[in-house]
Amino acid sequence: MAKLKQTFPGIMLCLPLALLAWFLGKSFPIVGGAVFAIILGMIIAAIWERPVVMDAGIKFTGKKILQYAIILLGFEMHMGNVLKVGSQSLFVMLFTLSGAFITAFFISRLLKIDNITSILIGVGTSICGGSAIAATAPMINAKEENVAQSISTIFLFNIIAVFLFPPLGQLLGLSDLGFGMWAGTAINDTSSVVAAGVAWSERVGNDIALHFATIVKLTRTLMIVPITLVLAIYTTQKAQNNNANYSFVKVFPWFVLGFIAAAILNTLLPIPQEISGGLAALGKFMIVMAMTAIGLNTNLKKLLTNGLKPLCLGLSCWFAVAGISLIVQMFTGNL
């Protein structure tokens, strides 16, 4: 009760803002609720000096509620579909993941961008946008500014991809499955993958690419698991090398185990679609709440001042992932 009393004011600040952002995201799915949430949070933080009593709840929302949200996202995964499509897409994903991280490493050094921002942009580009950034941030002790900057960068290229990929795919002569693989492996956010798939479907008159791209994208989401584990080990090792008192148990992403458990339950048990879909939707709303909290703790002026270099990094990673996906498919004969 004491903990609830301490966090309640901040949670109640985040909740109505998140509801507004959620409905705005539904009205403008290309933008998405998470981006609206960060923007609303930053605007409120810039124009209103909130009472200190709200800080604990905002921190709780940006960290703990975010972790619970990742667990609930597991209920939109069906391991049967993952295994079926994974055999076709895993090879491409391994190359796009490697390409994104290698590009992020070298371009961040060239532009003198901090490691945390480069990791978040690399993860967001290669895995699943905002969800991957949200899951990764606690592993590397990312600050609110790092998260907001990374998600804002990913959002920009999501919008560009929705409009650019369908006509470019037709220009390149991609098949339905080829475009589905390309969109599913090279567009960052699930909603943007769906939007691009719908645009392609309207052009060609069938939903093959849309369905395939969506499953590939959900399969790609599973890469959150190994990446967060690797980053937890990396953070622990780095701290130990610096003689810091840092425990692997402390940074271990326990919520990822919950994500896996939810996916397994959704696969093995006869859970009605209404329930599993509702739990996954609740998880997505909780992510919007967490993004609101992150926006409330973000310095808008500082974000705008340092915004150009992350955009250049995001553009480089996006080009690398999109190009590598096409090249690998070309050599494997799947275009």
Per-residue pLDDT of 85-98, as tens digits, reads: 666 778 888 899 89
Could you tell me which residues come within 8 angstroms of residue 182 by beta carbon, excluding any fewer than 6 positions away?
Answer: 165, 169, 174, 322, 325, 326, 329
Task: Measure the CA–CA gap between 312 and 112, rounded to whole angstroms.
Answer: 12
Task: Measure the CA–CA gap between 319 and 314, rounded to whole angstroms.
Answer: 9
Task: Measure the CA–CA gap between 55 and 37, rounded to whole angstroms.
Answer: 17
In the chain, where the domains are located: 8-49+58-332
pLDDT tens digits, 194-219: 778 878 887 888 878 887 887 888 77
pLDDT along the chain (335 residues), means of 10: 83 95 86 83 89 91 85 82 71 89 93 90 85 83 85 82 89 91 87 81 82 82 83 77 62 76 90 91 90 82 73 92 92 78
pLDDT tens digits, 148-175: 888 888 878 887 888 899 999 999 999 9
pLDDT at position 149 is 84
SS3 content of the chain, % helix, strand, coil (to 5): 85, 0, 15
Task: Measure the CA–CA gap between 226 and 101, rounded to whole angstroms.
Answer: 14
Q: State the amino acid at position 48 in one-letter form.
A: W
79-86 long-range Cβ contacts below 8 angstroms, 24+ apart: 79/263, 79/264, 79/267, 80/267, 81/215, 81/218, 81/219, 82/215, 82/218, 82/219, 82/222, 82/263, 84/215, 85/212, 85/215, 85/216, 85/219, 86/219
Mean pLDDT of the chain: 84
